[in-house]
Structure 1
Amino acid sequence: MKSKEKIIIGRYDVVDLPLLELFGLNAKVDTGAYTSAIHYHHAEIIEKDGAEVLHFTLLDPTHPEYNDKSFYFQKFRKRVIKNSFGQSEERFVIETNIEIFGKVFSTEFSLSNRGNLKFPILLGRKLLSKGFIVDVARTNLSHKLKKA
């Protein structure tokens, strides 16, 4: 049985979220995090067309890629997630596509306030387990491949 080829990813890279119309975002790889996370500006549950939906905007007005675009997800959930300080917080979780190394992966993202952090996106183990090996001595491997 032939094993699936692994993709080497560095400690950070540049990714695209095509369904969210966000491109060229800096992402930090975090093997300590289970779920990936993305910085959000505003999120609330509203009623739209007779159903509860999650309405949110991503990034914030100070981020260069901020576009003030509203998103509406019918498929979402709330989950208690421990932050990097070990404190539990309830977050909204959505599933969307991420493009990296020229491949598209479907994965979960928790909406997290990452406004004071350098990287608006954190890539967790749930995504990394889809065939990635982390080499912390390297950076921007996907971005370099895309530019080549």
Structure 2
Amino acid sequence: MDRSSSLDPTQTEPRNRPILGWREWVGLPDFDIPAIKCKVDTGARSSALHTFQVDPFTRDGREWVRFGIHPYQRDAETEVWHEAPVLDIRSVTDSGGHTGERYFIATRVQLGSTLLPVELSLTSRDTMLFRMLLGREAMRGRFLVDPQASFVAGHHP
């Protein structure tokens, strides 16, 4: 019996999935950011983006957020500002065990030739090495991760 038609198309055979390294350059086309250094984190459930000054507001009866992004590590001068509808507000426990409420938005991430939809939590990552985390939910059924490899999907443009 052929069950392939009933499977989610993202649930490909493991041997056919592209490989990612533990860190990758990813693009955020909806934010006009061609490359941001991202930690591929199988230990994190959700994906997170470094943001600052996250300000909620209402537009057409719907909750939105306006936020700034410092896309480059150790560069507080370069700022990208964006607005997005709020997808959800969720309680998230960070790697230090601290729990807090975070805004989640939906956007697209460019990984090499793959463009995928992701949910991102907006949080300050000033003290972290990477401006973005790509969590399990974004990778589930799409990629394999090689913890010894880096920048497999592409190099900094």
Is TM more than 0.5 here?
Answer: yes
- Residues 1:80 and 2:111 aligned together: no
* Residue type of the alignment partner of 2:101: E
Match of 1:21 in 2: 32
1:101 shift after superposition: 2.1
After TM superposition, the structure 1 = structure 2 runs for residues 1-148 of structure 1, keeping only pairs within 5 Å, are: 3-4=12-13, 5-49=16-60, 51-59=62-70, 63=75, 66-69=78-81, 71-144=82-155
Q: Which runs of 5+ in 1 are unaligned?
A: none
Q: Distance in 1 between matches of 2:91 and 2:46?
A: 11
3-state SS in 2 of match to 1:16: strand
**Number of aligned pairs?**
145
Length-normalised TM-score, structure 1: 0.86
**Percent of residue pairs identical:** 26
Decide which structure has the larger Cα Rg and report it. Answer: 2
**Which one-letter code corresponds to 2:34 in the other structure?**
F
Specify every segment of 5 or more residues in structure 2 that has no aligned partner in the other structure, as ranges. Answer: 5-11
Q: Distance in 2 between matches of 1:121 and 1:85?
A: 16
Give distance in 2, aligned partners of 1:48 and 1:132: 36
2:86–2:104 CA contact under 8 A, matched in 1: no
Tell me the TM-score normalised to structure 2 length. 0.82
Are the aligned partners of 2:36 and 2:71 in contact in 1 as well (CA < 8 Å)? no
